[in-house]
Amino acid sequence: MINLLAQPWFIPLVTGVVIIALAPLAVAFTVLLERKVLADMQARLGPMRVGPQGVLQTIADAVKLLTKEDVVPSDSDKWLFRFAPVVSFFTAATCLTVVPFSEAIKVTDVNVGLLIISAMSAVGILGIILGGWSSNSHYSLLGGLRSAAQLVSYEVALGLALMCGVMSAGTLSMTGIVKAQLQRGIWFAFDNYGLMLVPMMIYLISSVAETNRAPFDLPEAESELVAGFHTEYSGFRWGIYMLSEYINMFAVGSVLITLFWGGWLRPFPNVAALAIPLNYGVPLVVFGGTGLGCLYLSRRQPIQGYAIGIAGLGVVFLLVAAIFMIPAVNGPSIPVFWWALKLFTVLYIFIWLRGTFPRYRYDQLMNIGWKVMIPTALAAIFINAIVGMARS
Amino acid sequence: MPVNFMPTPQELFRFAPEMLLTLVATIIMVLEPLSGADGKRKFAVISFLSLAAAIALSVAAAGDPGAAFSSMIVVDGFSTFFRILVMVAGVLTILISTNYLRMEEHESGEYYALVLFSIVGQCIMVSANELIMLFIGLECSSIASYVLAGFLRDDKRNNESALKYFLLGSFATAFLLYGVAWIYGTTGYTNLSEIRRVLLDPNSNQNMVVISAATALMFVGFAFKVSAAPFQMWAPDVYQGAPAPVTAFMSVGPKAAAFAMFLRVLMTAFEPVKDRWEPLLWTSALATMVIGNFAALRQTNIKRLLAYSSIAHAGYIMVALTAHSDIGTAAAMFYLASYTFMNIGAFAVVTYIARKGERHVEIQDLAGLSQRRPVVAAMLTIFLLSLTGIPLTAGFFGKFYIFKAALDANMVWLAVLGMLNSAVAAYYYLRLIVVMYMQAPSDEMEELPAPSVGIQAAMFAAAAATVFLGVFPSVVLDYAGKSASFIR
Amino acid sequence: MLETVFFYAFAALTLAGAILTVTMRSAVHCAIALISSLAGVAGLYLLQHAEFLFAVQIVLYIGGVMVLFLFVIMLVNLDAAARERQFHRHWLAALACLAGTGALVALFLTRGAESFKLGAPAAEAAPGAGNIETLSMLLFREYLVPFELASLLLLVAIVGGVMMAKKRI
């Protein structure tokens, strides 16, 4: 047993399996989160029927998708039609393999990790445009073309913004980037006297465009293109597209937090005095608060079964909070906690943007991409390079 | 790895002409949108002055020869000679372009910027001591030429010319690059001197099959750029379709630079394997001369005729290359210099005769030129005589030294066949002179307006240079002879 | 051993992709075949431990160039081109070329058989060669001038592209 644990391939293998197993589940609950948050912003309840407070809604949706008829249009390019979602999912999942969840928990650490994520998100475009083309439908084709143009345009700004972070870190390895932030004792978002906030914002905006989300969701603009590139997809193939879209969100979010928000590090990673309050206090507040909230909600459930269910959920959360108070558990798991907390903050921002902004027009999108983002990113590289050199 | 990698002022100075031209070309691009429709003339003046300054800088840099930037480029007599040559070709091109562009209502800064960029590329080609630099210079020069060939976008012939040039040119460059990759793969170097060292090293145990294949691949690229057979097919179509001043430029600047790079690669890097490429060059030189001269016999379009003639001249220069000796190199250098002047001069006249839309480019359009514009006719006669190789013109000594080099290298047959070829060439050059002087102008011919100042200046300068080189060849030839030894 | 297997797999992918690129009928299928060929090359880079080149190959060629290829192919109507006869009927000329090339290759192989052992690698690869640090040291020191001139080359190409494509400047 000990031998097994000590094998160099053990943690990567386990992490890989856990990623593949957990990613669809995480996606399911992100979708639920999105629907609930949007509903809250629009002053409605959102899904309430399946499970207490609708928590099982997306599980039911997934079951429905799996059992739906899989329609392949008769005039489509059959092989490409089947192949395109695979490309999307494969590239999205590959991105996650180089993301470090903590110093020890990761699949692999390659010295060009960041580039591999760029490469994979670049290849991911193919899945979209091939899917759009092979459907042999005008809506799909237009959606695919739009997304290709959009992704290519915003990838430039994205890459330039990444370059600023790489200049600060001096490495392309994802683990190395976090370690550099630990060593410098600062999240790179606040490096160079706060100048790095500019590339951080550029990255954030471009990554919204990269993931085809509102307000840059022109490839799937419902009012014009039905559903864009995946109009003709149904059943589980459509599900794979949606899955990879959300996994892509995880991937770009992970890059954002790794590069600019300190990855698995807690806030103020170098201030030892804050270690106890932050590492123990924040999980307590987060999990304990959630648990208490669930218990409170359980008294307002219409059905007794739901009340028991949600009360049980509350107890589980309280238990997790309690487990986090054990130093032996807290030590190895707190980096993952910080990582997940940051990731969900990013996801929340994405959802918030979707609930707030109307969709851009196509020319506005291109103007923002080429005339605002890229020049700003170039200027940011230039200034950060000078400031960074002057400081060191 | 050098500890101090900052370039020294010396190195920067050796690279100054290229930097100046790049800077000026970029400034022109910036100024272009800021200037009104009638303010474009200043770009010609700017480019002219910058080329003059760059020539001065090249001369100054020649006073302190040596390598620069980790031996990426090398400034020696050879590169200085060709640098100045391509810049002079650029100056003459700009002189004949201004009026043409105004006439075609396409005067814009981009034209001059592209000419300057092309010249920068050629300067890099001639001074590169490294296959990668050579490739970048070649691409810079070629891409600018592709665009220049299609500069009048609304003109069908321009479009055809640009597209043909681009497609075939990129294909040929790919061969060159493939050859470079093979060379790097087998010798481990891209630096020409290092390749020579490796090839000469008896212990290196080089794979001759791979080296020969790589040389052959590179030969394809070079042969295309100098329009040598069997890769000459593009030249007539491209030269005919492109705007006349651009054709003038393409037929001298890039060609001279390509020959310079060809010479340097063959003489510096591949000199040790000369017995492998000599038969190849021998065949190619002969085929180029024969194809160029015999195809030119049947042409009725002056531009196409000059295109075939330029193929033929490439063949003569290939003879000098085949000789692979210092005297052969010097002969090629001298020939390229004289060819530059006589060909640009001839094209200046063609530009003038062609007028708007290039409607008058048939040989018959020259009829009676001696009565209508005697001075122009006299100039064209000088250029054509020089192209033929009549004594007292530059072309005579050019051919003389080339065949002398061939004889010295024991290539008697090639020399004899070359001389027979130039006899054939006399026929079509003299035919033009006959049409100019012996035929009366037909009645329906429009009035020929007086040539513009730019064309006049270019014509007189080119004619003066042609005659000067024909009377005092030793001035240039001595310099060429001295600098020829630098590249081995 | 495993590396050899991977090498042949990637080489086969590269070659098969290249062959399909020129033989497929639909332009989109050609582009996809080209993508797989480029991916095979990227895999070969990875086998050489040139991770940077691997990633750059994917980002630039598959993610950049090929996406734009597909973009243009989808915008342009190529149906007419797809119906055209794909191969010319110059069978005799093709056979002659093939025979000539084959004879040359055979001559190479027989005459040069003893010299066909590839010599020892000329420059022993530095430890970690292909990694970004080594690459950048070379690129920004020894090869700085070609690197900068490449940007000039791109500028010329951009100017040219705009010149050729735009109706009115």
Per-residue pLDDT of C113-152, as tens digits, reads 666 555 555 455 555 545 777 788 888 888 888 888 999 9
CB atoms within 10 A of CB C122: 15
Give how far Cα B18 sits from Cα of A168, B13, B89, B194, B256, Å: 34, 10, 15, 25, 17
All residues at 6 or more sequence positions from A237 whose CB lies less than 8 Å from its CB, including other chains: A70, A82, A85
Mean pLDDT, rounded, of chain B: 87
**Burial class for C90, CB neighbours closer than 10 Å (0-12, 13-18, 19+):** exposed
Mean pLDDT, rounded, of chain A: 82
The answer to whether chain A touches chain C by having 3 or more C-beta pairs less than 8 angstroms apart is yes
Q: Tell me the two tokens of residue C129.
A: 């060669």
Evaluate whether residue A299 is within a structural domain: no
What pLDDT digit, counting tens, does each position of A67-112 carry? 888 777 887 777 888 888 888 888 888 888 888 877 777 777 777 7
pLDDT of residue B20: 92
Q: Tell me the two tokens of residue B2.
A: 């050098």
Q: Which chain C residues are within 8 Å of B144, Cβ to Cβ? A: 156, 160
Give residue B1's pLDDT band: very low, low, confident or very high (50, 70, 90): very low
pLDDT of residue C122: 47
What SS3 string covers chain A? CHHHHHCCCHHHHHHHHHHHHHHHHHHHHHHHHHHHHHHHHCCCCCCCCCCHHHCCHHHHHHHHHHHCCCCCCCCCCHHHHHHHHHHHHHHHHHHHHCCCCCCCCCCCCCCCHHHHHHHHHHHHHHHHHHHHHHCCCHHHHHHHHHHHHHHHHHHHHHHHHHHHHHHHHCCCCHHHHHHHHHHHCCCHHHCHHHCCHHHHHHHHHHHHHHCCCCCCCHHHCHHHHCCHHHCCCCHHHHHHHHHHHHHHHHHHHHHHHHHCCCCCCCCCCCCHHHHHHHHHHHHHHHHHHHHHHHHHHHCCCCCHHHHHHHHHHHHHHHHHHHHHCCHHHHHHHHHHHHHHHHHHHHHHHHHHHHHHCCCCCHHHHHHHHHHHHHHHHHHHHHHHHHHHHHHC
Q: Give the Cα separation of C133 and A284 in Å (integer).
A: 43
| CATH architecture assigned to C1-84 | Up-down Bundle (1.20)
A50 φ, ψ to 5°? -85, 115
The pLDDT of B328-336, averaged and rounded, is 90
pLDDT of residue C37: 92
Q: Tell me the two tokens of residue B328.
A: 């052969």
Kindly list the partner chains of chain C, i.e. chains with 3 or more CB atom pairs below 8 Å: A, B
Give residue C102's pLDDT band: very low, low, confident or very high (50, 70, 90): very high
Q: Which of B445, B438, B427 is nearest to B368 (CA)?
A: B438
Answer yes or no: are the C-beta atoms of B156 and B235 closer than 8 Å: no
Q: Which helix (H) or strand (E) holds B416?
A: helix B412-438
Q: Which of A150, A113, A352 is nearest to A251 (CA)?
A: A113
What is the count of structural domains for chain B?
A: 1
End-to-end CA distance of chain A: 47
Coil, helix or strand at residue C56:
helix
The pLDDT of A345-366, averaged and rounded, is 87
Q: Give the Cα separation of A22 and A28 in Å (integer).
A: 10
CB distance from B144 to chain C under 8 Å?
Answer: yes
What is the count of structural domains for chain A?
A: 1
Please, which residues bridge with residue B67 across strands? B74
Give how far Cα A347 sits from Cα of A26, A257, A343, B28, B419, Å: 12, 11, 6, 48, 81
Please, which residues bridge with residue B130 across strands? B191
- The alpha carbon of residue B455 and the mean position of all alpha carbons in its chain are separated, in whole angstroms, by 20
Answer yes or no: are the C-beta atoms of B432 and B370 closer than 8 Å: no
B128 φ, ψ to 5°? -70, 140
Evaluate whether residue B105 is within a structural domain: yes
Evaluate whether residue A253 is within a structural domain: yes
Instruction: Write out residues 150-209 of A within 8 Å (CB-CB) of C.
Output: 151-152, 155, 172
Evaluate whether residue A273 is within a structural domain: no
CB atoms within 10 A of CB B3: 5
What pLDDT digit, counting tens, does each position of A131-170 carry? 888 887 888 888 888 888 888 888 888 888 888 888 888 7
pLDDT of residue A17: 83
Q: Which helix (H) or strand (E) holds B75?
A: strand B73-75
CB distance from C91 to chain B under 8 Å?
Answer: no
| Structural domain range at position A238 | 71-265+326-391
- DSSP state string for B360-380: --BGGGGTTHHHH-HHHHHHH
Q: Which helix (H) or strand (E) holds B73?
A: strand B73-75
Evaluate whether residue A177 is within a structural domain: yes
Answer yes or no: are the C-beta atoms of B484 and B329 closer than 8 Å: yes
Evaluate whether residue B313 is within a structural domain: yes
Answer yes or no: are the C-beta atoms of B462 and B341 closer than 8 Å: yes
Give percent helix, percent strand, percent coil of chain C, each to the nearest 5.
Answer: 75, 0, 25
All residues at 6 or more sequence positions from A141 whose CB lies less than 8 Å from its CB, including other chains: A132, A133, A135, C74
Evaluate whether residue B291 is within a structural domain: yes
Evaluate whether residue A235 is within a structural domain: yes
What pLDDT digit, counting tens, does each position of A201-254 carry? 889 988 888 888 878 777 776 666 776 777 778 778 888 888 888 888 888 888
CB distance from C67 to chain A under 8 Å?
Answer: yes
What pLDDT digit, counting tens, does each position of B358-407 carry? 777 888 888 888 888 888 889 889 999 999 888 888 888 889 889 989 99
CB atoms within 10 A of CB B6: 9
Residue linked to tokens 């979602």? A85
- % of chain B with per-residue pLDDT over 90: 26
Which residue of C51, C71, C132 is in closest CB contact with A145? C71
Coil, helix or strand at residue C83:
helix
- % of chain A with per-residue pLDDT over 70: 96
Answer yes or no: are the C-beta atoms of A289 and A31 closer than 8 Å: no
Give residue A334's pLDDT band: very low, low, confident or very high (50, 70, 90): confident
Q: Which chain B residues are within 8 Å of C141, Cβ to Cβ? A: 1-2, 5, 70
CB distance from C32 to chain A under 8 Å?
Answer: yes
- Angle CA B88–B254–B457, to nearest 5: 30
* Residue to test with chain C: of B19, B117, B132, B143, most C Cβ within 10 A: B143
CB distance from A76 to chain C under 8 Å?
Answer: no
| Structural domain range at position B94 | 9-487
Q: Which of A25, A22, A41, A29 is nearest to A214 (CA)?
A: A41
